[in-house]
Structure 1
Amino acid sequence: MAVSSSTPSPTPQRQARLVRRWYFWLFIVVAAYAIAAIMHWDARAKLWVVERMTPQAQRDASVWLPDYHAFIDGKAMTGLETDEASDLTYNPDTKTLFSVMGKHAFLVELNLEGDVLRKMPLNGWANPEGVAYLGGGRMAITDEREHLMTVVTVAPDTKALNAADWPQFDLGPSANQNKGFEGIAWDPRRGQILLGEERPAAMFTLKSDDQGKWQGDKVKLAYTTLNLRNLSALDVDPRTGNTLVLSADSHMLLELDPTGKQVSFMTLLGGLNGLKDTIPRAEGVAMDESGTIYMVSEPNLFYVFRKF
């Protein structure tokens, strides 16, 4: 009598386990892909490879963010516990920093260690989100909710600022009216203001002189490499002319050359670049003439990065 060599059919219980296992690994793959897409890990990996291949001479001619290390890591700014730091700018004339607070509208002056020197109420601003130093005591402040830019003069004895007292410029509509113009920086080499739209991340230029007088309408920059979940802040390196682009949602600081090409990046996650913990929500960035980078995060954390 012949003996059958056929394999027994799997039991219903085994079939159910195999299906559950298949769904489990499918979920893992889909979740990993989604996380990678959200965090732009593919873009980071590509940029990391490009960075590794960059000649030393080009690195020396740029900001080169991979060489930066946190020297002040998440210092709480005393006196701002109930506020939300929205942006940051460096004043080379006073060697101090200025930050706008969005929750309660005011401008605060800080020393380079993040200590509060004075607080100036911003009367008439609905939602100040960006600030840029233009020179001669002049600063441009953006109101994200009203889509306005106001140019003010801050003197050593200024105690408060009233929007109605200063010239304003209508920035026009944005792609998402609730996520408008959040980043702003002055580019003295090119005589223009840089504007950053929060979401979708985009950059614009507004021609202006060093007196803060604008000329014409804003022009969108055709940058196709802003692979960021949002744009939180901008600054221009006074030494190289390169632009720093900060993204709170992507936990990243990008360096762009004048053509918009990505040069380098720094990830703002705990365990990297001297950070003990991930920066919760990085909202402002500024650089001084020596290359030191300053950063603020909501609600009231202060950071300093230097090359090591």
Structure 2
Amino acid sequence: MKKKLQWIFFMLLAVSLVGGMVSWRSGWLALGYYSLIMGKGNSAILASHRVVIDGRPVSGLSKNTSGLTYHPERKTLFTVINGPPQVAELTTEGRLLRTISVKGIEDIEGISHIRGNLFAISDEKEQQVKLVEIPDQVATLDVTEQPRIVLAVDTGKNVGFEGVSWDHAHNRLFVAKEKRPMRIFEIRGLHDLIECRKVDLQIGEWRPADKIMLLMTDLSSLTYHEPTGHMLLLSDESRLVLEFDENRRPVGMLVLRKGWHGLQQSVPQAEGLALTSAGVLFVLSEPNLFYRFEPSGS
């Protein structure tokens, strides 16, 4: 009888351990752990965000929205549409202002405002970033001859450059590679290219100081917040936004699942992420769903 009880005990222990490992790998235990750890700090931008616009369809856009950036001077948002390639300008309430057809790029995925009418747009298939002027009241844009940067690394089908984010404070461009493996490149020297000076590009890699990236199975977008030096990373597969401080340590998260932060339904396929200096967060999901999150009490 004693041996039988010991066998039952060890079987139950093994099942518990396996179940715990599965739960951790699936994200639920890990989410709970990191939520508890992050909840002890108060430096996170995402400490108290709640949804105020919950999955509003953007009238005039029907599919393939990808990438999002905030234009601080215009106080509007810009996104890109893949198939056929387009750029669209939106209000911060998710209303369509205009669309622009884009020629000279095949697989447009990300967009980031640099200054004035200058933007960086990414091409996933060609693994390149182009610097593009988007003037007012233009219907078609040809970017064929625009300056570009090509980073042909870890090439693979549909797992290339997904998101881009410009750091206005330090003149850096961050570029997110979707998966296999997930990587974030940090490119310095683009400001000289913009100013038509001698170019000395320096390409490094941004890496978090924690294993929390194991919570994410892909990178869909990213945005850098200049006032705090924090980086926000978006995973559509994991339905998660992670926030890192200036020391690349995890300090906050936004779970894009039903019941979290006031969401009535899970965000189906988040592809775009943008943030204002005041901390208002925007998420854009395929096919055309718009979300706005604000700090509680704002």
Partners in 2 of 1:210 and 1:118 — Cα distance?
Answer: 31
Scaled by the length of structure 2, what TM-score is found? 0.86
Alignment match, 1:148? 128
| Partners of 2:228 and 2:246 within 8 A in 1 | no
What is the SS of the residue equivalent to 2:144? helix
Equivalent in 239, 242, 247 of residue 254 of structure 1: 242
Alignment of 1:278-289 (within 5 A): 278-289=266-277
Confirm whether residue 90 of structure 1 aligns to residue 70 of structure 2: yes
Partners in 1 of 2:30 and 2:178 — Cα distance?
Answer: 19
Confirm whether residue 76 of structure 1 aligns to residue 61 of structure 2: no
Equivalent in 109, 112, 124 of residue 89 of structure 2: 109
Alignment match, 2:119? 139
Alignment match, 2:183? 202
Cα deviations by residue, 1:157-204 (Å, 9 ceiling, x for unpaired): 222211213111112223645301111101122220011111132211
Unaligned runs of at least 5 residues, structure 1:
1-6, 8-21
Partners in 1 of 2:261 and 2:116 — Cα distance?
Answer: 34
Q: CA deviation at 1:212?
A: 4.0
Partners in 2 of 1:248 and 1:234 — Cα distance?
Answer: 11
The alpha-carbon distance between structure 1 residues 222 and 245, as it changes in their structure 2 partners (threshold 3 A), is: closer
Confirm whether residue 122 of structure 1 aligns to residue 102 of structure 2: yes
| Partners of 2:39 and 2:47 within 8 A in 1 | no
Confirm whether residue 38 of structure 1 aligns to residue 26 of structure 2: yes
Partners in 1 of 2:183 and 2:295 — Cα distance?
Answer: 28
The alpha-carbon distance between structure 1 residues 222 and 238, as it changes in their structure 2 partners (threshold 3 A), is: closer
Partners in 1 of 2:224 and 2:194 — Cα distance?
Answer: 16
Compare 272-281 and 184-193 and name the one that shifted more: 184-193
Equivalent in 186, 204, 220 of residue 205 of structure 2: 220
Scaled by the length of structure 1, what TM-score is found? 0.83
| Partners of 1:127 and 1:143 within 8 A in 2 | yes
Equivalent in 291, 294, 303 of residue 279 of structure 2: 291
Unaligned runs of at least 5 residues, structure 2:
2-10
| Partners of 2:209 and 2:247 within 8 A in 1 | no
Partners in 2 of 1:42 and 1:202 — Cα distance?
Answer: 25
Q: What letter is aligned with 1:118?
A: R
How many percent identity over aligned positions?
A: 29
Q: CA deviation at 1:74?
A: 0.1
Confirm whether residue 178 of structure 1 aligns to residue 158 of structure 2: yes
Partners in 1 of 2:243 and 2:207 — Cα distance?
Answer: 16
Q: CA deviation at 1:251?
A: 0.7
Partners in 2 of 1:102 and 1:210 — Cα distance?
Answer: 30
| Partners of 2:221 and 2:273 within 8 A in 1 | yes
Cα deviations by residue, 1:61-92 (Å, 9 ceiling, x for unpaired): 441x13000000000011111x2111100001
Partners in 2 of 1:122 and 1:108 — Cα distance?
Answer: 10
Partners in 2 of 1:121 and 1:163 — Cα distance?
Answer: 11
The alpha-carbon distance between structure 1 residues 96 and 73, as it changes in their structure 2 partners (threshold 3 A), is: same
Q: CA deviation at 1:30?
A: 5.2
Alignment match, 1:51? 38
Equivalent pairs counted in the alignment come to 279
Partners in 2 of 1:224 and 1:239 — Cα distance?
Answer: 21
Alignment match, 2:170? 190
